[in-house]
Chains A and B, each alone.
Chain A
Amino acid sequence: MLSHVGMLSWSSEINQIPVNVRAITDSSLDPLIPGGDALLRFVDAVLARSTVDIGAAVAVVMAELGQAGLVDAAAVIGNFQMMNRVADGTGMPVGAGSRRRHADLIDQLGLDRFDHTDDA
């Protein structure tokens, strides 16, 4: 998660698109980027495996981002279902440099609660 919140922050800055990264862990907040809220609801529905909620979320993503956006969102979710398992299943550590670079994000989003790489 830390890697991609960092990439979200970095890519938004380069593209000069405002973003509220706290929306990643706080569902009451709007991420600000175009289509961002629809994408967050879509991820929530897919991970919950709720057929009804997926149907509703798909309609919103289709309306805001079109079919290509919907298919790519589904693919990205699938990819990170895999990568999260690979990272957690191999005990992939976050390096000290990355921790330092993203200390503000770790603090803002309370990410340390997810760190179990050393059986913490």
Chain B
Amino acid sequence: MTTEEEISIRPDLAENLRRTWADLARPGAKWTGAQRLAIAAEARRARDRALPGSNLPGPATEASRLLAVNPAAARRSWVETLVAAGLDHKSYVELLGVVGRLVAVDTFYEALGLPPRPLPAPVAGEPSGEISAQARPGRGWVPMVGGTSITQALSLIPSENAELERFHGPMYLTFGEMSDPTIAKGLTRPQMEVVASRTSALNECFY
């Protein structure tokens, strides 16, 4: 297996991975640091086809596992069932952000033949209770700020949406850079889009 030292990772990308990992361990809006890491661990177990093994509430375990391995199976009715079972929209949105970043980082490491990054120790503290007062129901399945938009998908919890945006730039392009068809990093823009499109096709993501 390759080691991280053998691969030259751009400094901004390496810092993004480090910061994202540290963020997973901190208390969020609805979940403690320990609970966020339990969500991440449950997502990992699901990807490794291992049985559930956390003390999370049942709906959170179910959501963590399905979003980790088969997000295309998510439906509005499924989200509504989770909410009715006690996983409110705020908890769901934060959980979705955690699972998304966990799978993203684990996939990056796997792609380069690197061992998985060990989950960090949880940071003590209570959830902030943060929620956007401007978020409203729309065409999507969770309330968002300013209408239904992928750049606002997690905006019910502003810190989660900000974290998504911070993560997105070093991994691919910032939201602003996306309007530049000639931008190039290690790949040209068309090469980036070949990778993005095929990944989305295999995940059966229409959007």
A-to-B contact residues, CB < 8 Å: 1-5, 7-8, 10-12, 14-15, 17, 19, 21, 24-25, 31, 33-36, 39-40, 42-44, 46-47, 49, 51, 54-55, 58, 65-94, 111-112, 114-119
Contact of B148 with A93 in the complex, beta carbons under 8 Å? yes
Report A-chain residues with C-beta under 8 Å of the C-beta of B74: 88-89, 91, 116
Total cross-chain contacts (CB, 8 A): 264
Classify the interface of chain A: helix, strand, loop or mixed. helix
* B7 CB-CB contact with A under 8 Å: yes
Q: How far is the CA of A51 from the CA of B113 in the complex (A)?
A: 8
**Contact partner of B187 among A43, A76, A79, A84, CB < 8 A?**
A76
Question: Do residues B196 and A76 form an inter-chain contact, with CB atoms below 8 A?
Answer: yes
29 A-B pairs in the complex with CB atoms less than 8 angstroms apart: A4-B200, A5-B197, A8-B193, A12-B190, A21-B197, A24-B198, A42-B111, A43-B195, A44-B198, A54-B113, A58-B112, A65-B187, A68-B186, A69-B187, A71-B186, A78-B105, A80-B172, A81-B203, A82-B167, A84-B205, A85-B96, A86-B154, A89-B67, A90-B142, A90-B144, A91-B76, A91-B140, A94-B206, A119-B75
B interface, how many residues as a size bin? 35 or more
Q: Are B191 and A33 in contact (CB under 8 A)?
A: yes
Q: Enumerate chain B residues within 8 angstroms of A85, measured Cβ to Cβ.
A: 67-68, 71, 96, 99-100, 103
What is the bound-complex CA distance between A7 and B47, given in angstroms? Answer: 30
